[in-house]
Chain A
Amino acid sequence: MRNGQEIIELKKKAVKIRKQVLCMLQQAGSGHTGGSLSMVEILLSVYYGRINLDPARSVCPDRDWFVLSKGHGCPALYAVLADLGFFPEEELMTLRKMGSRLQGHPQRGLPGLEISSGSLGQGLSISVGIAIGNRMEKRCSRVYCLMGDGETNEGQVWEAAMTASHYKLRDLCAIIDYNKLQIDGFVCEVKDPGEIKKKWESFGWHVEEADGHDITDLDRAFDRALEVKDRPQIIIAHTVKGKGVSFIENKAEWHGIAPKKEELEKALEELTAIEKKIS
């Protein structure tokens, strides 16, 4: 359990990551703004103090794994990995540029990043494979897999959900960044997912719901998931697409575009104002 000061530090970290993400995207001139901003606190709850994974242990066989299945959200992951020291922060501004290790969608090989992704729906199956492989080796490794809500339109997600529960993969913890929007609009209008919690429960998963922008609430959900010993777990993290910037929040059109220079300046101002209010 984090103390008050640690929570304040992570709230400030969230602002820093969001600012970096926006700067990177503006510099790149393209990329996925909304979904990168919605997943920041999820990454922070996992990567800071929870996951057994750091630059010094990146090849340890018993390390934990993080699979970014919603690969388009990679700017946020890149910023977190740089903050943790997996690679220099200066490299962040090479996002999407020729010769950069920071590809438009994640490519294995960047320090700290072990799974290529971008074609939606595959990460949960990859995570299932990792969890089964680790179990065969009797490793105490946990696998975290972050998916988008629109991503669960993909049938493969449900194939993997069934395999994970069939094999009672207790070391697998999935997270849905449930920001309620996808490219074409509201998730419930594009293809209504119905009662998500009941769906996952009926697929044999333990389900937790959390405020995806509240570190304490996310921590609580992850801690409870950790106690489950007989089945895979999923955290439905309720988030806001474009979180932190008023004119980006809850706008489907911001799924796949980058801010222009003046938009970036306005966004940074808003984030600075948020930072000042952190206490």
Chain B
Amino acid sequence: MEAAKVKKESTRDGFGKALLELGAENKDVVALSADLTESVRIHWFKEKYPDRFVSHGVAEQDMMSAAAGLALTGKIPFACTFGAFASGRAWDQVRVSVAYMNLNVNIAGTHGGISVGEDGATHQAIEEIALMRIIPNMTVVVPADATEAFLATKQAVDIPGPVYLRLGRAAAHFLEGSDDFKIGKASIKRKGKDLTIVACGHLVYTALQAAQHLEKKGISAEIINLHTPKPIDRETLVSAAAKTGAVLTVEEHTVCGGIGSAVAEVLVQECPVPMKIMGIDDKFGISGSPEQLYAHFCLTEECIAEQAEILVKRKK
């Protein structure tokens, strides 16, 4: 596999750099903070455009509704906080103030997934994909590397309705082909014929590693980066499922309602094939290093390869 360059960068960094550029490109772009300015990487924007930075303090609900107000006046707000709070604490505000009015509000939820690590369950957002994708009008994006995060941030501005960006804290490997990123268009990272592995976020890289293990065992895995859980790219998913006949999904998210569910919703109706959904098995996170947590929740390349092997056998 020729993927990964050695260089790594977090998706929150990719977001923060794009926001800084947007500041110069579009005078209507504003950033809203809930006391996590540097953690969510909007300190660069704040430094350069202090007049377009709004500090709400630790008040995510207020921030989310105020973002709606700003959008009503023609501004393009980015409401930024940890994903656990953006999607959980302020869910009703996202639903009613933002999405019901279908406003151009962009929500940056950093610290997504268990790779947050030591902070533990309260700060590890593992429900946002579900919580956000069930809201009408919402676009949900999970960039796999900093390049995708950068491009997603730029593209979000041009989407008239709300966009939720799920961003990570830990550095992520740069992947080949991220420059072609387009919201809504799933990218095929590796061609294969025996099964399709659909992943998002940090685990796209892990899935690519798993594909190498599988190749040694004579299993050819296709890898799809489903960076946009909503609107979902039905065409790419259905044609992949039809071709390989088995689909394994992998995500740093509860198995209830995440990309596994989203993919299943498509395939069960349009191209039913054997499936396995890998993720956090209806449990809360715990403290630990990202690597320890990936191992604890069976989200390593070895685990993915093992589940893929079992799944391929189910095809017969």
Contacts and interface: CB of A to CB of B under 8 A. Distances in A.
Chain A interface: which size bin?
A: 20 to 34
Given A119-B92, A136-B30, A163 B69 contact: no
Which of B57, B64, B66, B97 has most chain A Cβ within 10 Å? B66
Interface in A95-143: 107-108, 114-119, 121-123, 125-134, 136-137, 139
B73 A133 contact: yes
Contact of B66 (A114, A115, A132, A134): A132
B11 interface: no
Given A156-B61, A156-B62, A115 B72 contact: yes
Nearest to B93: A122
B67 interface: yes
B74 A126 contact: no
Nearest to A114: B72
B70 A129 contact: yes
Contacts of A236: none
B54 interface: yes
Contacts of A61: 74
B96 A118 contact: yes
Contacts of A119: 92, 95-96
B62 A133 contact: no
Given A119-B92, A132-B54, A160 B101 contact: no
Which size bracket describes the interface of B in this complex?
20 to 34
B74 A133 contact: yes
Contacts of A163: 56-57, 59, 62, 66
Contact of A126 (B56, B69, B75, B95): B69
B96 A129 contact: no
Contacts of A166: 55, 57
Contact of B67 (A107, A129, A159, A162): A129
B98 to A, nearest CB: 10
A224 B62 CA distance: 27
B100 A136 contact: no
A107 B99 CA distance: 12
B62 A160 contact: yes
A13 to B, nearest CB: 28
Interface string A233-245: 0000000000000
A110 B95 CA distance: 19
Contacts, number: 104
Given A116-B101, A119-B96, A130-B72, A162 B66 contact: no
A129 B61 CA distance: 12
B65 A116 contact: no
B96 A128 contact: no
Interface in B31-63: 51-52, 54-57, 59, 61-63
A243 B92 CA distance: 32
B68 interface: yes
Nearest to B67: A129
B56 A159 contact: yes
Contacts of A136: 30, 51-52, 75
Contacts of A162: 57, 59, 62
A130 B68 CA distance: 8
B101 A128 contact: no
A123 B64 CA distance: 11
A133 B97 contact: no
Contacts of A131: 69
Given A163-B57, A166-B55, 16 more contacts: A114-B72, A122-B93, A122-B97, A125-B61, A125-B97, A126-B66, A127-B69, A130-B69, A130-B72, A133-B72, A156-B59, A156-B62, A160-B65, A160-B66, A162-B57, A163-B66
19 contacts: A116-B100, A125-B64, A126-B97, A129-B68, A129-B73, A130-B69, A130-B70, A130-B72, A130-B73, A133-B69, A133-B74, A136-B51, A156-B93, A159-B56, A159-B57, A159-B59, A159-B61, A160-B65, A162-B59
